[in-house]
């Protein structure tokens, strides 16, 4: 067993052949009772050694429904399922065992799930493959749905930021990593933040926010943001307040104290009613976490001046139907436009990829999230009949991701520019 001293106290993890693992490490106080619907609060110090050998709760969310595509894909094996609860603000950390003459680069993963579902220990996520390649992987959990994104005047009376508590959770996790990762042998000045879908949208918020300061060295956006497209939507604070009022009315709460005391089932029911109309709870342009629209921040060079990698899947949502994302480019084109804008402004284009492998086992193709098995080296956990060629593709993608995180992009991958429109395609022969 391994013991690490963090700023809050000692933690004890698990020792494996290739890495040491610390599971369920708290980065903030449980956001319950009087802390519900408010910004995260730093964790208190503790006495003695805290056991961090088991995954913590996932954020409270609707139960998965049998028969749904993603339930069958990622949430079918009970061994990897966790209970859901408000008490969810925890990290999981995989630390390499291999000797190094310098601190390890660090990768912070933000899971997707439409800001309504998912957690940091899903069966497709694992850090061993990163540790074997000399990278510390950290996965995090953040509040989902109304618990993470509610905007209401009752909250505004108590804090500056409204509608972005989930993003503040992520910033609290990033801050914890920045302040503590050196104790694990990591380099706080070399943190890559990466995520897919809602996690990629979150990553774009983090590189756009002044609150993350200089804590991010690199960023990877998977099937999400970009420039003039993707899934990003400039959600105004006025829109968020309207949804917040609807939510409170559905719950029947008359005061903030009543709202904080509601049963989780009431919150879930109101969230489900609002979600039937689309995605009601997403990051908000609150002029604190986000000071301007995503596109304007890119156009005026107000996002982090760091290295970027971004891409999408060939059968991603809306990829073959531009009208499905009204007034937006497809995900793929949004990635290209992001790189071109970076080149135009700063002569610092991005690395762009395109995942084209149509996964075996059904006709879903290279669907939204299909690359996750590959970038975490977990295809053997899947029910799909993956081949040796899939294992080789996974190795190639892991090498690409970790090389980027180390600051040494693979020699066969060039940034996308106007004169050299290079896109790294991932597929099997």
Report pLDDT for 196.
96
Contact between 286 and 210 under an 8 Å Cβ cutoff? The reply is no
pTM of the model: 0.95
Residue 8 has what pLDDT?
96
- pLDDT per position in the chain (429 positions), as tens? 689 999 999 999 999 988 999 999 999 999 999 999 999 999 999 999 999 999 999 999 988 888 899 999 999 989 999 999 999 999 999 999 988 889 999 999 999 999 999 999 999 999 999 999 999 999 999 999 999 999 999 999 999 999 999 999 999 999 999 999 999 999 999 999 999 999 999 999 999 999 999 999 999 999 988 998 766 777 899 999 999 999 999 999 999 999 999 999 999 999 988 887 778 899 999 999 999 999 999 999 999 999 999 999 998 876 655 454 444 468 899 999 999 999 999 999 999 999 999 999 999 999 999 999 999 999 999 999 999 999 999 999 999 999 999 999 899 999 999 999 999 999 997
Residue 245 belongs to what H/E stretch?
helix 237-251
pLDDT of residue 237: 93
Structural domains in the chain? 3-236+283-426 (3.40.50.1820)
Q: What stretch of H or E contains 22? A: strand 19-26
Output the six-digit token pair for 217.
């060295």
The pLDDT value recorded for residue 329 is 60
Sequence-ordered list of residues with C-beta below 8 angstroms from that of 315, at least 6 positions apart, any chain: 358, 364, 365, 366, 367, 368, 370
């Amino acid at each position: 067993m391994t013991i690490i001293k963090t700023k809050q106290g000692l933690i004890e993890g698990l020792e494996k052949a290739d890495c040491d693992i610390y599971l369920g490490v708290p980065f903030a106080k449980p956001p319950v009772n009087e802390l519900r619907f408010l910004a995260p609060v730093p964790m208190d110090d503790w006495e003695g050694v805290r056991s961090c050998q088991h995954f913590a709760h996932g954020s409270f969310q609707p139960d998965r429904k049998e028969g749904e595509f993603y339930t069958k894909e990622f949430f079918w094996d009970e061994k990897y399922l966790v209970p859901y609860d408000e008490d969810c603000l925890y990290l999981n950390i995989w630390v390499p065992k291999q000797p190094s003459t310098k601190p390890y680069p660090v990768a912070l993963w933000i899971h997707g799930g439409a800001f309504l579902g998912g957690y940091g220990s899903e069966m497709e996520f694992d850090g061993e493959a990163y540790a074997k390649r000399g990278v510390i992987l950290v996965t995090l959990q953040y509040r989902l749905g109304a618990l993470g994104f509610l905007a209401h005047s009752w909250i505004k009376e108590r804090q500056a930021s409204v509608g972005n508590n989930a993003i503040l959770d992520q910033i609290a996790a990033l801050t914890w990593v920045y302040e503590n990762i050196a104790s694990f042998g990591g380099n706080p000045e070399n943190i890559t933040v990466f995520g897919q879908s809602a996690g990629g949208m979150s990553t774009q918020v983090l590189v756009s926010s002044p609150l993350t300061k200089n804590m991010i060295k690199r960023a990877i956006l998977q099937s999400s943001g970009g420039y003039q497209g993707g899934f990003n939507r400039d959600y105004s604070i006025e829109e968020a307040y309207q949804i917040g009022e609807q939510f409170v009315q559905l719950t029947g709460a008359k005061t903030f104290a009543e709202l904080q005391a509601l049963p989780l089932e009431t919150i879930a029911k109101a969230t489900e009613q609002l979600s039937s109309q689309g995605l009601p709870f997403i990051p908000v342009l609150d002029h604190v976490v986000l000071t301007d629209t995503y596109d304007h921040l890119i156009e005026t060079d107000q996002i982090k001046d760091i290295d970027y990698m971004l891409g999408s899947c060939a059968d991603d949502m809306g990829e073959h139907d531009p009208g499905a994302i009204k007034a937006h480019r497809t995900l793929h084109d949004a990635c290209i436009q992001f790189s071109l804008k970076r080149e135009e402004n700063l002569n610092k284009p991005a690395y762009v990829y395109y995942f084209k492998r149509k996964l075996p086992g059904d006709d879903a193709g290279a669907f939204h999230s299909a690359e996750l098995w590959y970038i975490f080296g977990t295809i053997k956990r899947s029910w799909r009949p993956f081949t040796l060629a899939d294992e080789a593709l996974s190795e190639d993608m892991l090498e690409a991701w970790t090389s980027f995180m180390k600051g040494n992009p693979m020699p066969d991958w060039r940034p996308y520019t106007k004169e050299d429109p290079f896109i790294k395609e991932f597929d099997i022969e």
